[in-house]
């Protein structure tokens, strides 16, 4: 499936955004104190694979997403990131488990559009907290320019199509939603290299 990236205003409520952004910030602060993981992929940011809050959100919004794209979906994985001043999200495509990507703004302080390449044009989406952008992350290049603000929190929900080419990546090959990355199989590990 290849769909043109599109935005949905007020996809989740302001209260849900506050809870998710706060919980994720608490997790970041805890990892700082413990000198734990989450700080090494994109400079000036904190990220985590499949936190329970984002795995829960992925499950709750799935019926709504299925209606929007008119496809039955399996959740594959979720991801969260807190960007800080100086972060750059380079132009990239995601791995196959991101056949359908939902990017949800949870917290922002300045305009910082998410760009998608579509038919040799750039589509830019400047989301407010609660807004979502939906696209095919594994097939459509996307990026952000240099971040000049203080803190921006984003949640990413990834899905694959039931009965589709990548449905073997249901739950990102983990035994269930909420399982850590350490439980993915070699199919996913090899693609991450």
pLDDT digits (tens, 9 = 90+) for 5-38: 999 999 999 999 999 999 999 999 888 888 766 7
Does the pTM surpass 0.75? The reply is: yes
* Two structure tokens written together for 94: 């995601």
Tokens 């998608």 label which residue? 116
pLDDT for 126 beyond 90? yes
Predicted pLDDT at 154: 97
pLDDT for 96 beyond 90? yes
Give the strand pairing for 6-8 and 151-161: unpaired
């Amino acid at each position: 499936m290849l769909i043109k990236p599109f935005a949905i205003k007020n996809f989740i409520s302001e209260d849900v955004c506050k809870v998710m952004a706060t919980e994720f910030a608490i997790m970041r602060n805890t990892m700082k104190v413990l000198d734990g993981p989450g700080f090494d992929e994109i400079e000036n940011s904190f990220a985590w694979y499949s936190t329970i809050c984002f795995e829960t959100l992925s499950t709750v919004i799935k019926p709504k997403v299925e209606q929007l794209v008119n496809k039955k979906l399996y959740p594959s994985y979720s991801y969260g990131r807190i960007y800080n001043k100086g972060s750059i999200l380079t132009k990239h495509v995601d791995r196959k488990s991101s056949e359908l990507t939902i990017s949800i703004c949870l917290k922002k302080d300045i305009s910082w559009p998410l760009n998608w390449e579509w038919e040799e044009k750039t589509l830019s989406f400047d989301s407010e907290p609660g807004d979502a952008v939906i696209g095919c992350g594994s097939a459509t290049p996307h990026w952000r320019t240099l971040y000049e603000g203080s803190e921006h929190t984003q949640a990413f929900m990834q899905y694959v199509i039931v009965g589709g080419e990548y449905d073997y990546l249901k739950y990102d090959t983990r035994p269930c939603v909420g399982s850590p990355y350490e439980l993915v199989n070699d199919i996913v590990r090899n693609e991450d290299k």
